[in-house]
Chain A
């Protein structure tokens, strides 16, 4: 069974902290994505990666960075967390040339 695993289900951090959200997929997918989901705003794409060490900005990259050192792992980094980054963060992956996304269970991040 295909799997996208996000390291934390719930996370509480303080303003100004550096935060790492980890995502691992076991399907050998080339493409990986980070979305955030907020009530009333739906899912918004933060960053995506189409290959190892490659990254592209999505619709809302400000305040975030990403790292893809290995094919199976895609990390989202909040350099200095702020309260407006409190959100549900969803990681997804897919195979190149295919359209279907596989999602992780999400990380609910609270920044206090």
Chain B
């Protein structure tokens, strides 16, 4: 069953602008991960945030987590054309085995040069 839902489904911005993507989920989680997928390729892990963390940074990426609202956001600052890809959030339910990582449907980001 789908756990995370990304919003918006698609986002188009100019190079240099910031891009914000959101993820909402339904049940309690242990952690939330963000992945990136270039067109027609596999997914690449970007960042993981644990349920007891509120914010995490990695280079130009900033992830926030609000467990009271069951939501997370991914911010990409100073976007580049190479950031064009689909971005997925993924969660493991609290109490579930550590195997079942469920993905949202993704946000398709287009960065226009």
Contact = CB atoms under 8 A, between A and B. Distances in A.
Interface of A: 4, 31, 33, 35, 40-43, 45, 48, 50, 56, 58-59, 88, 90, 92, 96-97, 99-106, 108
A43 B48 contact: no
Interface residues of B, number: 25
Contacts of A100: 33, 45, 48
B100 interface: yes
Interface stretch (B36-44, B55-63, B66-74): B36-44
Interface of B: 1-2, 30-31, 33, 35, 40-45, 48, 88, 90, 92, 98-106
A99 B99 contact: no
Task: Name the residue among B30, B31, B40, B104 with the largest chain A CB count within 10 angstroms.
Answer: B40
Nearest to A106: B42
A31 B33 contact: no
B99 A56 contact: yes
A36 to B, nearest CB: 11
A28 to B, nearest CB: 17
Contacts of B45: 100-102
23 contacts: A4-B42, A33-B101, A35-B103, A41-B105, A42-B103, A45-B102, A48-B99, A50-B99, A59-B1, A88-B40, A90-B43, A99-B31, A99-B48, A99-B92, A99-B101, A100-B33, A101-B45, A101-B90, A103-B42, A103-B43, A106-B40, A106-B41, A106-B42
